[in-house]
Structure 1
Amino acid sequence: MTELTVRRARPADVPAIVALIAADQLGAGRETPDDPVPYLAAFAAIDADANQYLAVAELDGALVGTLQLTYLPGLSHRGGWRAQIEAVRIAEPHRGSGLGSDLIAWAIGQARDRGCRMVQLTSNATRDGAHRFYTRLGFVPSHVGFKLAL
């Protein structure tokens, strides 16, 4: 198997990233990949922020995965930084191949290199498979999350 390459996303990657996000049960009803304008605006904001890293994973030059890594300063944990992993997606043909584990391991390594004290993530309550995946990787379900749509 060819080695996975992880790099910072570029504007030209946005359609493929949005397609990955829209290719599951939650994204299918929420995303509109045919209208790139809001996604390109969001990409520009993410790319301009030093505490954001929108990553893409490539295999043989093909985009096969993505995640967003956000670095959060805080006063708790003795002023320790934490890294938040969001929007993890692996293309359907590659799920179960180990690429997701490799991508998460990459993100954890980036957090360590940046001096973060912890890595955290959220996962929709309906994603039982994702919960098993994250638990296998050593993540502990420790909090209950709440959202308020605006």
Structure 2
Amino acid sequence: MDTDEHLIREASPEDLGAVVASVSGLFAEDGARHDPHADPSWPEREGSEYYARLISSPDGLVLLALTGQRPVGHLVGRLNGPDPLRPPVRGAELESMRVAPQARGSGAGSELMRRFLAWAAERGVNETRVRAFAANTGAQRFYQRWGFAHTHVDLARPPY
């Protein structure tokens, strides 16, 4: 476990390589393990363009966690558009988050979450959401410690 202090900062266009590498790690660890249809090559193929748009968008947040100069994690969040079915909701989604295995338990994830929730509050958000794979109980426990609660259950029928 890393015990160094973490720097959490908004990613810049120069950080795209580090962001894509961290997202690739998440896809390999989480998506590819828990979703047989996930494409683990997506971050390398399309991630730079996707995250560059989010970095430049006022409705997007891309954070990097660094120990010293070494990237050890990321968080991607975005504001949600108005929902005509739920007009009083101003929402934000935590789209993607990862802390590298060697930095887990060091507080980097909590620092990323603090920054995301502060960013959302500054924008008048009154509901934040995150999705986690049902099999990823560690992620679910982390999010529950931050006040997230189960609100929906997605059911999928695999092909036979």
Fold similarity call, TM over 0.5: yes
Counterpart residue identity of residue 99, structure 1: A
Report the equivalent of 1:26.
Answer: 31
Counting matched residue pairs gives: 146
TM-score (norm 2): 0.77
Where structure 1 has 5 or more consecutive residues not aligned to the other structure, the ranges are none
Matched, 1:109 2:118: yes
Per-residue CA deviations over 1:86-134 (Å, capped at 9, x if unaligned) read 1100011101122111211111111111111121111122211111111
Match of 1:96, SS?
coil
Report the equivalent of 1:50.
Answer: 58
**How much has 1:76 moved relative to structure 2?**
5.5
If asked which structure has higher relative contact order (CA below 8 Å, sep 6+), I would say 2
Which stretches of structure 1, 4 residues or more, deviate above 6 A after TM superposition?
Answer: none
Counterpart residue identity of residue 61, structure 2: Y
Among 6, 9, 33, the alignment partner of 1:7 is 9
Per-residue CA deviations over 1:58-104 (Å, capped at 9, x if unaligned) read 22222111111101132465533111101100011101122111211
Report the equivalent of 1:119.
Answer: 128
Is the contact between residue 68 and residue 85 of structure 1 (CA under 8 Å) also seen in structure 2?
yes
Among 114, 123, 130, the alignment partner of 2:139 is 130
Report the equivalent of 2:19.
Answer: 17
Match of 2:72, SS?
strand
Name the CA distance, whole Å, in 1 between partners of 2:122 and 2:151. 24
Match of 2:19, SS?
helix
TM-score (norm 1): 0.81
Per-residue CA deviations over 1:15-59 (Å, capped at 9, x if unaligned) read 2222222221425873338x8452222123223322111111122
Name the CA distance, whole Å, in 2 between partners of 1:89 and 1:55. 11
Name the CA distance, whole Å, in 2 between partners of 1:85 and 1:18. 17
Name the CA distance, whole Å, in 2 between partners of 1:25 and 1:5. 24
Name the CA distance, whole Å, in 2 between partners of 1:12 and 1:18. 11
Name the CA distance, whole Å, in 2 between partners of 1:145 and 1:67. 23
- Greater mean alpha carbon deviation, residues 86-95 or residues 51-60: 51-60
Report the equivalent of 1:96.
Answer: 105
Q: Give the RMSD, CA atoms, in angstroms.
A: 2.5
